[in-house]
């Protein structure tokens, strides 16, 4: 874990990861005319013969990638998350999932962190949508380093996968020695009273919230659940022994929150608080929106404190 306050975007991590796997001649990248924003342009500059810009045509992107996969290629499809999952839902479900194609879907600018672009571009349903698709793996990196490592992992992973990226710079948590473990949660801070399970760039806020809670006499464990599907059931069940679990995500609460609720309901009922969105947000700065919707450190700490007090 890094100790400094360096900030980078997870999409930059994705771009760097593409460069690292570019030597694999089976890797191809398709983009929806967003390569500067998604950072797939880094791959395009080095391997132009394996980069394909299909314009603003998400369904074509997905079906073309599925076709390339059927020929043995490893396609990475990148564009804005809201457009990729929303506009190409049928193609993803049928041409990728039903057909069991080895396609990697990369949704950038996800969540209300997309901020000033407004609700129509803020993808808040993508985690909950992709996690229920048969055979689809769902990865939500917490920082640029994890995004880079996850991209490298996906080049060797067989089967459909969704990688969720964010627009703004956020705190870098991990250093270059970090190893991404697919399907495994990681304990970022120990605690005995309550477990906070976070995914994506909300993780730094959850870690800071744990520090604030300590001052209030609440010992909070913080878990990074980078793989939402397959979720680490063992980690959730272990955390449930504390009796109280909180989930934090930049999106509708039936994404990570829904996945955790399912594990608890089937295995070990525990008190659960889901922090996230229950409807559309609005346009504004990334920091202001996180504060308004309780996804900043102060908001998370306040909700957890109230939750613990009520639970006891």
Catalytic residues, by residue number, are 58
Which residues is 68 bridged to in the sheet? none
Rounded CA gap, 307 and 302, in Å?
9
Helix axes 256-267, 233-240, angle to 10 degrees: 70
Is residue 121 a contact partner of residue 167, using CB atoms and an 8 Å limit? Answer: no
Q: How far is CA 306 from the centre of its chain?
A: 27
Is residue 115 a contact partner of residue 284, using CB atoms and an 8 Å limit? Answer: yes
- Phi then psi for 146, rounded to 5 degrees? -65, -35
Sign of CA dihedral 140, 146, 148, 154: negative
Structure tokens at 311: 């639970």
Rounded CA gap, 244 and 12, in Å?
35
Residue 287, SS3? helix
C-alpha distance across the termini of the chain, in Å: 33
In sequence order, which residues have a C-beta less than 8 Å from that of residue 237 and are 6 or more positions away? 263, 267, 268
Token pair 């990638």 is found at 65
């Amino acid at each position: 874990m890094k100790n400094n306050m360096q900030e980078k975007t997870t999409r930059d991590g994705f771009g760097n990861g593409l460069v690292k796997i570019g030597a694999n001649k089976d890797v191809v990248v398709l983009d929806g005319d967003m390569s500067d924003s998604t950072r797939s342009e880094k791959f395009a500059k080095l391997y132009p013969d394996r980069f394909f810009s299909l314009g603003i045509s998400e369904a074509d992107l997905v079906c073309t990638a599925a076709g390339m996969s059927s020929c043995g290629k490893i396609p990475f499809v990148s564009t804005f998350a809201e457009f990729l999952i929303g506009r190409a839902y049928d193609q993803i479900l049928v041409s990728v999932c039903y057909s069991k194609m080895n396609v990697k879907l990369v949704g950038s600018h996800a969540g209300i962190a997309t901020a000033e672009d407004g609700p129509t571009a803020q993808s808040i349903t993508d985690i909950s949508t992709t996690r229920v698709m048969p055979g689809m793996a769902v990865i939500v990196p917490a920082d640029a380093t994890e995004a880079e490592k996850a991209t490298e992992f996906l080049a060797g992973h067989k089967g459909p996968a969704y990688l969720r990226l964010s627009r703004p710079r956020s705190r870098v948590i991990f250093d270059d020695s970090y190893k991404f473990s697919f399907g495994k949660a990681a304990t970022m801070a120990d605690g005995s009273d309550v477990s906070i399970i976070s995914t994506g760039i909300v993780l730094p806020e959850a870690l800071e919230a744990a520090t604030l809670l300590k001052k209030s006499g609440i010992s909070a464990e913080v878990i990074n659940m980078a793989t939402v599907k397959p979720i680490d059931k063992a980690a959730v069940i272990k955390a449930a022994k504390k009796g109280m679990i909180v989930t934090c995500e930049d999106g509708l609460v039936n994404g990570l929150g829904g996945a955790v609720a399912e594990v608890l309901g089937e295995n070990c009922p525990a008190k659960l608080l889901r922090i996230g969105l229950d409807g559309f947000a609005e346009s504004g700065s990334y920091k202001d929106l996180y504060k308004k919707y309780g996804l900043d450190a102060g908001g998370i700490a306040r909700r957890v404190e109230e939750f613990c007090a009520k639970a006891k």
